[in-house]
Structure 1
Amino acid sequence: MRSRSDDIRKRIEKRKKQRERTSTRQMETKLPWTEDEERYGFDRMTSYESGPVDEENHPLFRKEVFIFKLLASACVVLVIAIMFRNPTPALDPAREFVTKSMNEEFQFAAVSDWYESTFGKTLALLPTTDSKNEEAGPADTKPQYALPASGKILEDFGENGQRITIETGQGAAVEAMNEGLVRFIGKQDGFGQTVVIQHADKSESWYGNLSEVDVTLYQYIEKGTKVGKATDNDDGTKGSFYFAIKEGEDFVDPIQVIQFD
């Protein structure tokens, strides 16, 4: 009777050892080493730092969404480029909306000025010049503006409430009164062929009645850069152009800003 019970115990112990060996072999096959979390009784935490990453389940990246955004951006740029190259009048409202969105709602020149005053360097998207590295004068001094062209005033601001008319020599160059971003080139009511420059203080200088334009849209130009050429008078002896300064929604008298001869 005793030998039978001993035999049963041996069988039980043998089976127990077999189960332990099987369990150990499975654990070694599944996990060659033990993570810190499991060593202290916690579940293993998922990590994206090493090993192959499943892009579909990655919390910070989805390939399909990225490709869709890339293609959508390329399509938008292509459509806008075609729209600005096509002179069809039906597209004028769309072009006007894009121009307004890129200039009036986002003040490029103002952002550039803020960046420079905050970080001391020119915004990377804009070209740098040696004049940018010069030390600024006292904060209370008034900015010095360049005279757009030498000449005399034929029509003052009080006659129309928007601009003045300046008489120049034949074929005279018209220059920018201050640095800024060219935000508009085209026809304007009461100004004719016009170039509008947006400055860092959000003001705008308008140069109208031009026979030629020497700048491009969205070009960042320095003070004194040639904007265009004044239109010659009928007799061919003199020329003239329109000049205006706009602050916010209102035009101001340029004579109050720039000293004319």
Structure 2
Amino acid sequence: MNSRADDIRRRMMKRKKERERMDKMSDNRFFSTEEERHGFDRIPSYDMGPGEGGHPLFKKEVFLFKILASACLVLIIAIIFRSPSEKAVTFQQYVKHTMDQEFQFAAVSDWYENQFGKPLALLPAKNSGEEKENEVASDNEYALPASGKILEDFGDNGQRIMIETGQGAGVEAMDEGLVHFVGIKEGFGKTVIVQHADKSETWYGNLDKIDVNLYEYISKGAKVGTAMDSDDGLKGSFYFAIKKGDDFIDPVQVIKFE
């Protein structure tokens, strides 16, 4: 008799545990993943909320290491600049030269577009809808900045030539590139400097009016400004220069003038 009663109690306890387990599964069904509903283990998620350690791609240890390395680099450079040794002087000159160099936006943009087919989003983009004015013949690689005659040769100053034009004549870009200077340059007056993909620069000086904006990407033949009128108001003139690296070159070697 006792044995039968014990057996009944065991069955009741078993059913009670089974009900509790089923109730627990029912409560957790709304919070379980698709994998758990089909008997698989939960796949770990990297979606972390506030206070759960941040994004997995951001590692605090690596970030702190980079800050420490940057601080050490700055400290080392500061020590070298304070050192009077000859080796330190050589390094100082290299750092100064590097910091003085202009970043070649046009060259980087041209390389990126040739490699990947689209201009880099962080760099100024070319305006594909802009029409090219005064297209030159196919056998001429560059566009003439303006029609006119040379009044001052490159040998007279070693930097530029002076071109005589008609009154109020427009000055056009020799080639496409990035406008990286707009303002007054000593010896050039009101000037526009265009940086090209081959790392060369063209300078257009002695302008009466400027028609481009800083960091604008312009096409070959685009109008950069207007030549300054002469004192008698019958003619106009502007300065034109080509710079490669740290040196100016004679524009006549690159462009055939009339």
| Correspondent of 1:253 among 224, 237, 250 | 250
Cα offset, 1:257, TM superposition: 0.4
On the 8 A contact 1:55/1:61 being kept in 2, the answer is: no
2:17 is aligned to: 19
Residue segments in structure 1 that go unaligned for 5+ positions in a row? 63-100, 133-140
TM-score, structure 2 normalization:
0.65
Q: Does 1:235 align with 2:236?
A: no
Letter in structure 1 aligned against 2:244: E
Of all paired residues, the percent bearing the same amino acid is: 56
User: Do the aligned residues in 2 keep the contact of 1:122 with 1:128 (CA within 8 Å)?
Assistant: no
Is the alpha carbon distance of 1:234 and 1:131 closer, same or farther for their aligned partners in structure 2, counting shifts above 3 Å? closer
CA distance in 1, matches of 2:239, 2:180: 17
Deviation at 1:204, TM superposition (A): 1.1
Distance 1:35 1:226 in 2: 63
How far the C-alpha of 1:116 sits from its partner, in A, is 4.4
**Does the aligned pair in 2 maintain the 1:176–1:224 contact within 8 Å?**
yes
| Residue 203 of structure 1: how far off its partner (Å) | 1.3
Structure 1 residue 254, shift from structure 2 partner: 0.6
1:179 aligns with 2:190: no
Shift of the 185–34 alpha-carbon distance from structure 1 to 2, 3 Å rule, reads closer
Structure 1 segment 3-18 matched on structure 2, within 5 A? 3-18=1-16
The 8 Å contact of residues 207 and 227 in structure 2, kept in 1 or not, is answered as yes
Q: Does 1:193 align with 2:220?
A: no
Provide the TM-score with structure 1 as the length reference.
Answer: 0.64
Map 1:1-261 → 2, pairs under 5 A: 3-31=1-29, 36=35, 43-47=41-45, 55-56=49-50, 59=55, 104-107=102-105, 109-118=106-115, 125-129=125-129, 144-261=141-258
Contact in 2 for aligned 1:171/1:230 (Cα 8 Å): yes
Which letter does structure 2 place at the counterpart of 1:164? Answer: I
RMSD of Structure 2 on Structure 1 (CA): 3.6
What residue identity is the alignment partner of 1:14?
M
SS in 1 for 2:192: strand
Q: Could you list the runs of 5+ residues in structure 2 that have no partner in the other structure?
A: 59-98, 133-137
Amino acid at match of 2:201: E
Following the alignment from structure 1 to structure 2, what is the Cα–Cα distance between the partners of residues 104 and 142? 31
Q: Which runs of 4+ in 1 moved over 6 A?
A: 121-124
**Secondary structure of 2:179's match?**
strand
**Residues 1:158 and 1:27: Cα distance change in structure 2 (over 3 Å):** same
Pick closer, same or farther for the CA change 1:19–1:205 going to 2, 3 Å.
same
Work out the number of aligned pairs and report it.
Answer: 207
State the alpha-carbon separation in 1 of the partners of residues 107 and 139 from structure 2.
Answer: 18
Counterparts of 1:106 and 1:211 in 2: how far apart (Å)? Answer: 28
Cα distance, 1:122–1:15 mapped onto 2, change above 3 Å? closer
Q: 1:55 offset after TM fit, Å?
A: 4.5
What residue identity is the alignment partner of 2:163? I
Amino acid at match of 1:12: R
1:135-169, CA deviations, whole angstroms, 9 ceiling, x for partnerless residues? Answer: xxxxxx98621221222222222222211122223
